[in-house]
Amino acid sequence: MITTDKKPNILMVLCDQLSWRALPCYGNTDVETPNIDRIASQAVRFSEAYTPCPLCMPARTSFWTSRLPHETGVKSNGGRYPSPLDIPADMPTLGGVLTGAGYRAVHFGKTHDSGALRGFEIASSGTLSADSPAAWPASRDTLQDRHTTEACIRWL
């Protein structure tokens, strides 16, 4: 066993609505994703994953807290069935755990998380323009994704 005083770097990449079936590193031969494949070849890849809820905010909140929606109180995205605005103040979060362990935890991307990103430094959000064909116009999400990608690359 090799020991070192240096903490390993941790990089988590979460992609909304990207199915494992679409990736060559999981066997798809119809597309090319060289950068994802390179990361996957040097990282831990999971063969099974489940969501605690098929809605964005409850699922993200569960991910960052390791708690189920009935424990976080976040059971919806708001709207017709509103959830609490924030998780309980004493509920541990991954950002808090990492920060407490001496990591600099920085989050890039979507932040509608009901307070579950507590402990992370939140990188600025914004949009950048993007060329897109008329048949597939760039949406606000696309413009935010481009900003997030470029901000993350600069930070790394």
The residues annotated with a catalytic role in the active site are: 56, 112
Give the chain's count of helices (H) and strands (E).
5, 2
Cβ neighbour number for residue 50 with a 10 Å cutoff? 4
Please give the C-alpha separations between residue 61 and each of 44, 70, 112, 155, in angstroms, as whole numbers. Answer: 22, 11, 9, 24
